[in-house]
Structure 1
Amino acid sequence: MAVETDESGWEVDPDDEWGVAVITTVGRQLKLRREAAGMRAGDFGVAVGYGEDLVYKVEGGKRIPRQEYLDRADEVLGAGGLISAAWEDVKKVRYPKKVRELVKLEGKAVEIGIYECSSVHGLLQTPEHARALMEAAQPPYSADDVQRMVAARMARQSVFERDPAPSIHFVLEEAPLRRPVGGTMVKQQQLERLLEVGSLNHVSLQVMPTNTEAHPGVDGKIELLKFPDGTAVGRSDGAFNGRPTAEPRELRILELRYGTIRAQALPPRESLAFIEKLLGDT
């Protein structure tokens, strides 16, 4: 059996208090079960296919265990699925803290409004499109980091499957829709994904044509989230230093800008026809 070696991207973020707590607890339980089974760390590492040093790191809460590690540990220690079940919490620690917080907010919102100017919004991206964008970054991410970020981005898209479903409104600029990110096939799949999501009865998708006059979104993207209790939060690259805000006066400014953008964009039906034409021309 090949022994896995240490690699980047699976370290615990020390500033992520929840993540540290989860991995520390899982590591402690693994150590207690191993010791109760009378196994030394080295022997256990051989049994699960990990080096002894990595076993100590996992048990010490210094390294996030892979799902395969937990499954092998469960089998070796005869835990009856209890160790494997920890993956449901462990996998969330793999997502960056900021992404988890955004997912949490999107998961509570009853209405989501998004204007994206420079790319297809993350909630609408296919895995291949997202991967192509991340692989183009400079300085480059490691392959493991790319995989981690793609998984985090795809996890956010569970918002479309919520019941009851939130009302979601997108406005996308034309230019990013024409950019062949990832090549022709990936572009085609991305346009098909936009048509699929735009056809959902709780989703409104609009396109802002390039030949449109200046509008309030030229300074950057806008995101507005509204919650069941009547509260809201929003942010815009071009307002309030880009920070999130829940202040009523500032939210009114963002809502005014977003409403103006939606009014200037193509209506939803015309937008889907526009995307269909782009797909046909690809």
Structure 2
Amino acid sequence: MKERESVDAEEPRRRFAEECRSGRELYPRKRLNQAELARMLRTSKSTIGRVETCVGPIPPDLPSLLDQVFSTDGLFKRLYEEIVAQSFPAQYRRRVELEREAIVVREWSPTVVPGLLQTADYSRTLLRGGAPRASEEEIKTNVAARLARQDILKRDAPPDLRVVLCETVISRRIGSREIMCEQLSALLTHGAKATTRIQVLPSDAEAHLFIDGAATFLTGSNHVTRVCVEAYRTAATIDEPEHVREALRAYDFLTGEALSARESARLIRGQMEALR
């Protein structure tokens, strides 16, 4: 099974490399070498070489540039999304795939800023703390994969994003003051978007269904909602309608008890000022 998962995970990366090489060699005007393609993409020859030999992470802005140069109608972007989804451990892949297709994302977190809203430095600090023996290359790859998930928020038609954070999330300092300030600033930037609402739940709120763990609600284009929950090295997706309805009622309780988006932004801004 592990060998099969390894093969499946490598397949979109190999195809990305093959399509890049094929597009370069069959370019209509003339066959391009790696240096010429790199100049067109405003990147380096070594980056193209690594992409075509499946070495290291793919720069997140490269797929859309390749689609433009080769007129491939989003092929490289779709392959990149598959690469990102399969870079996660098997138990998390379904959640990432559902996230890519969601039209509404609801998040609750009692501990840290959710991955969809994390800055690179905040994410790096969390990943380093969770894997002290990991190499710098491994941490770099995992940060890139986590940030690549945020591409869904940059689409022309991004999903509606609703986030409720426990007050401890914004008061707990992760990393340096500068890292935490940057993360709080990013929350304010996200919260200012028309499709995003961020609320803070006061730390003295009453007990509720999700008090001891994070939960993500993903609603697809068919308007079916699934609930994703995680714990140490485990993840589960809840599909049963009765349990999903119970979870949604609990989430409605959280949004009702939380501060308004405006009051939450004021609280986040105040926490930023306290760190400076």
Task: Give the TM-score normalised by structure 1.
Answer: 0.70
Contact 2:16 2:76 in 1 (8 A): no
Shift of 1:172: 0.7
Rounded to whole Å, the distance in 1 between the matches of 2:100 and 2:212 is 27
Structure 2 CA distance for partners of 1:218 and 1:105, relative to 1, 3 Å: same
> Which residue is 2:141 aligned to?
148
CA positional deviation for 1:221: 1.0
Which residue is 1:21 aligned to?
Answer: 11
- Counterparts in 2 of 1:1-282, with a 5 A limit? 14-23=4-13, 64-66=54-56, 89=79, 93=83, 95-96=87-88, 98=90, 101-237=94-230, 243-282=236-275
Runs of 4+ aligned residues of structure 1 deviating over 3 Å after TM superposition are: 22-30, 86-94, 97-103
The 8 Å contact of residues 117 and 173 in structure 1, kept in 2 or not, is answered as yes
- Following superposition, the deviation at residue 106 of structure 1 comes to 1.6
What percent identity do the matched residue pairs reach? 25
How many angstroms does 1:102 deviate by? 3.3
Compared with structure 1, are the counterparts of its residues 164 and 269 closer, same or farther at alpha carbon in structure 2 (3 Å cutoff)?
Answer: same
For residues 136 and 91 of structure 1, the distance between their equivalents in structure 2, rounded to whole angstroms, comes to 26
Aligned residues: CA RMSD: 3.6
**1:90, distance to aligned residue in structure 2 (A):** 6.8
CA gap 1:105/1:183 in 2 versus in 1, 3 angstroms: same
Partners of 2:161 and 2:16 in 1: CA distance: 37
Taking a change above 3 Å as real, the CA distance of residues 28 and 149 of structure 1, as seen in their structure-2 partners, is closer
Deviation at 1:276, TM superposition (A): 0.8
Is the contact made by 1:116 and 1:171 (CA closer than 8 Å) also made in structure 2? yes
8 Å CA contact retained: 1:245, 1:251 = yes
Contact 2:163–2:198 under 8 Å retained in 1: yes
Any stretches of 5+ residues in structure 1 without a counterpart?
1-11, 31-47, 50-54, 69-79
TM-score scaled by length of structure 2: 0.71
**For the residues of structure 1 that align with 2:171 and 2:16, how far apart are their CA atoms?**
46
Question: Is the CA contact 1:129–1:190 (under 8 Å) kept in the aligned structure 2?
Answer: yes
Larger Rg: 1
Q: CA 1:23 to 1:149, structure 2 compared with 1: closer, same or farther past 3 Å?
A: closer
Structure 2: gaps of 5 or more residues: 22-44, 59-68
Render the CA deviation track for 1:163-193: whole Å, top value 9, x for unaligned.
Answer: 3222110011111212221201111101100
